[in-house]
A and B are shown apart, each in its own frame.
Chain A
Amino acid sequence: MNCDKYRSAMDKLEAEEEWKEKLADAMKRRAGQQPQKAWRMQLAAGCACVFVLLVAVLLWRNPVALQTAENTAAQAAGQAGEPETAGQPVASAEAAAATADVFAAEGAPEEAGSGAETEETEGQSEKQDTRMQERIGESAEEPQQTADAGTVESSGQASSQTVENSSVTEGNGQSGSAPNVFTVRVEDRELVSEMGRVYRRDHRNLELDTEEKQELYRSKYVGEVGTGEEFAGNYPEGSKVYEISGYKAGSGYIVVSPDGESEAVELVEVPEAENYTFEQAAGCYTEEEDSVYTVCLYEEDGGVSVVNDLDLLAQLDSISEAAPLEDAQVGNGVQAALYFSDGGRAAAAFDLDDGTVELLGNTYRLPEGFPQKMEKAKKETKSFSEVTGSPSGVTMMRITASDGSSVEIKDPAAAQKAVDSLLKSPEWLGKYYVLGKTGFCGNSEFTELGKIEITHSGGKLELTFTQIDSSMVSVFVRGDGAEEGAYSPYHGRITAQEWTDFLTYAEGLSQR
């Protein structure tokens, strides 16, 4: 047996006694050094704590301190709390109020804000306002990004925006801490986060055509789109940004404009991805070392090829350690989505003529023979009776709806008739692809409609019906003997109307 040979090969890999002795000696020496090291670490940590505490107290007493420390000695005097009022007007109430709000949002005592109100000059106020923006910018860089783009905002506007963001954050259960605002801006119809990650609109199958779907897909609120001229025509100021339910954080967002329109965007580029291996690029969409379960190819004719072939997809893993191709052309392939077992989804593109796949702005060489196998898999279709094996001797059919209610056809003749109606009508499945032994998985965007269990002379069949989009329903067929934990062995497509018609038909049979 091969696994016995593997075991006996590994048995011969023993840790040598000499190495073990050296290792143990080194470890023991290290153990002797540990207390001294721990003592030093504790001392260093103590000093650091005292220093941080001192700085915090200084800043708390006078937030201008840090700013002025970089300037003149006269400003340094300002750090000590001496008012510089000569020849300078008093700060505006608006800026002071904003300051107080910001302090309140950050959980500092109110008297700090009121102290600033009475003592500040305008010069200091401007600096302080800037400082406030910077402090907010530490977690949300919106004001700075706007300034970078050349848009001038008054301090009052910036502050009020900040306060608004703070309140939204508090509403999400993070009150008392610095507002954790996710600021995004749009460039050339792409959404760019403050970390330089680029997102593009999802033009594939994540259709947010109903309010229920929008609600279903939205998970954590992460912030809102800021203001500025460069945003015109794309996402309106104040659009809310949410993570997509089921996706890895940061790999996709839903943007909801103030008028309620929703749009999904997905990660297509990260600044540091130039040297990413295929696996590292995939890691931006899924947990480490997860594998692709399904590939959806979005054909030019509007059709979707669903590739589930287990062996074919295993080949994708063989390029996991591959480095990106240099000077490769990008943007030529067929748009695709890679689905991972943990629910993650990655935007990709396959150029089967060139034998490459594009992921996260990098292009990778596909394994030898992969493009040909994929082309073949795309074209392969089977009838529903082929997929299910045309079960005969049907004794029972049970249809379970998504709400748990079920209809059971116990009369063998009626059950067989219902099954035959599934198998014999060539139009019933419509245009579909059967490409492999697994079904969709990990797709948070698909809603399960119901299940059909068929007991027949050869065993059992389980068909799962899942709504893919507004008109299409996906069918997964799972027979006896399917590997535990494996997903449905076959996949097909029908229309939503056909599914409803069948339910009505089956219900009629059940009432016989």
Chain B
Amino acid sequence: MHSAEDVQRVVDTYASTLLRTAFSLMKNRSDAEDMVQEALLKYMEKAPEFETPQHERAWLIRVTVNLCRNRQNTAWFRKTVPLDESIPALESEESHVLEAVLALPKKYRTVIHLYYYEGYSVADIAQILGRKQNTILSQMSRARNLLKQSLKEEFDELR
């Protein structure tokens, strides 16, 4: 069972990370916040033991991604249209890039976010998402091609 201090630490440390990951999938803040809350509830229910903080972070991201997928697969979600909601205070170029990424198929959005924002390697992303490395590479490559078409400019090459 997690102590109150532990709960506070997890919220302080990971809330923003999880919110961004959820936002990249759900495309709006309120759904993303719901998913973060669900993920943290799972964290409390399961009370998993982690070897390292990286392991803990990866676990929380994976749970958040899975919860977002589950939510998106519900008939209710598919039949509703969320209100368009962007991040305030974005410059037009940032907004343009963000819109292009959010317009990608959801399977690409996750890998793009985890790679370019969270800084995970392809191998790490494969482990977090439970997919093969080749699948991640292919999805990265396709996502970058689609972004190139929509932004008329390369995203960035793989490191």
The complex places the Cα of A279 from the Cα of B108 at a distance, in Å, of: 13
Beyond A9-B90, A10-B24, A310-B141, 14 additional pairs, beta carbon < 8 A: A2-B153, A5-B98, A6-B94, A6-B116, A15-B19, A28-B7, A34-B45, A311-B145, A314-B146, A318-B105, A341-B135, A342-B135, A485-B137, A485-B138
Specify which of B45, B98, B145 lies most central, judged by the most chain A CB atoms within 10 Å of its CB: B98
Partner of B11, one of A27, A35, A287, A293: A27
Partner of A314, one of B3, B24, B112, B142: B142
- Residue A14 at the B interface, CB < 8 A? yes
- Residue B15 at the A interface, CB < 8 A? yes
CB distance from A443 to the nearest CB of B (A): 14
Chain A residues positioned under 8 Å from B145 (CB to CB): 310-311, 314
A290 and B135 contacting across the interface, CB-CB below 8 Å: yes
CB distance from B40 to the nearest CB of A (A): 6
Question: Contacts A1-B156, A15-B19: A320 and B137 contacting too (C-beta < 8 A)?
Answer: no
A14 and B16 contacting across the interface, CB-CB below 8 Å: yes
A5 and B94 contacting across the interface, CB-CB below 8 Å: yes
Contact with A along B65-109 (1 / 0, CB 8 A): 000010011010010000000011110011111100100011110
- Residue A289 at the B interface, CB < 8 A? yes
Of all chain A residues, the one with the shortest Cβ separation from B149 is: A311
CB distance from A53 to the nearest CB of B (A): 27
Partner of A30, one of B41, B116, B129: B41
- Residue B133 at the A interface, CB < 8 A? yes
Chain A residues positioned under 8 Å from B55 (CB to CB): none
Partner of B131, one of A13, A27, A34, A287: A287
B90 and A485 contacting across the interface, CB-CB below 8 Å: no
- 8 contacting pairs across A/B (C-beta < 8 A): A12-B89, A27-B10, A31-B44, A34-B1, A279-B107, A321-B72, A485-B122, A485-B134
The complex places the Cα of A5 from the Cα of B153 at a distance, in Å, of: 13
Chain A residues positioned under 8 Å from B72 (CB to CB): 321
- Residue A161 at the B interface, CB < 8 A? no
User: Contact residue range for chain A?
Assistant: 35 or more
B-contacting residues, A395-431, CB 8 Å: none
A2 and B155 contacting across the interface, CB-CB below 8 Å: yes
Chain B residues positioned under 8 Å from A320 (CB to CB): 105-107
Question: Contacts A6-B117, A9-B90, A288-B69: A15 and B141 contacting too (C-beta < 8 A)?
Answer: no
User: Contact residue range for chain B?
Assistant: 35 or more
- Residue B124 at the A interface, CB < 8 A? no
B108 and A317 contacting across the interface, CB-CB below 8 Å: yes
The complex places the Cα of A125 from the Cα of B28 at a distance, in Å, of: 64
B-contacting residues, A16-37, CB 8 Å: 19-20, 23-24, 26-28, 30-31, 34-35
B75 and A275 contacting across the interface, CB-CB below 8 Å: yes
- Residue A385 at the B interface, CB < 8 A? no
Contact with A along B1-29 (1 / 0, CB 8 A): 11110011011100110011001100001
- Residue A3 at the B interface, CB < 8 A? yes
The complex places the Cα of A230 from the Cα of B122 at a distance, in Å, of: 52
The complex places the Cα of A6 from the Cα of B112 at a distance, in Å, of: 10
Which label, helix, strand, loop or mixed, suits the secondary structure of the B interface? Answer: helix
The complex places the Cα of A434 from the Cα of B78 at a distance, in Å, of: 38
The complex places the Cα of A118 from the Cα of B33 at a distance, in Å, of: 67
CB distance from A289 to the nearest CB of B (A): 4
B-contacting residues, A317-353, CB 8 Å: 317-318, 320-321, 323, 341-342
Chain B residues positioned under 8 Å from A288 (CB to CB): 69, 130
The complex places the Cα of A310 from the Cα of B93 at a distance, in Å, of: 28
CB distance from A325 to the nearest CB of B (A): 15
- Residue A160 at the B interface, CB < 8 A? no
B2 and A31 contacting across the interface, CB-CB below 8 Å: yes
The complex places the Cα of A472 from the Cα of B23 at a distance, in Å, of: 49
- Residue A512 at the B interface, CB < 8 A? no
The complex places the Cα of A13 from the Cα of B29 at a distance, in Å, of: 9
Of all chain B residues, the one with the shortest Cβ separation from A23 is: B11
The complex places the Cα of A26 from the Cα of B43 at a distance, in Å, of: 13
The complex places the Cα of A23 from the Cα of B135 at a distance, in Å, of: 35
The complex places the Cα of A356 from the Cα of B1 at a distance, in Å, of: 53
- Residue A8 at the B interface, CB < 8 A? yes
Chain B residues positioned under 8 Å from A30 (CB to CB): 41, 44
CB distance from A477 to the nearest CB of B (A): 19
B4 and A28 contacting across the interface, CB-CB below 8 Å: yes
The complex places the Cα of A291 from the Cα of B40 at a distance, in Å, of: 30
Question: Contacts A5-B97, A485-B134: A13 and B44 contacting too (C-beta < 8 A)?
Answer: no
The complex places the Cα of A310 from the Cα of B137 at a distance, in Å, of: 12
Question: Contacts A6-B117, A486-B137: A27 and B40 contacting too (C-beta < 8 A)?
Answer: yes
B146 and A3 contacting across the interface, CB-CB below 8 Å: no
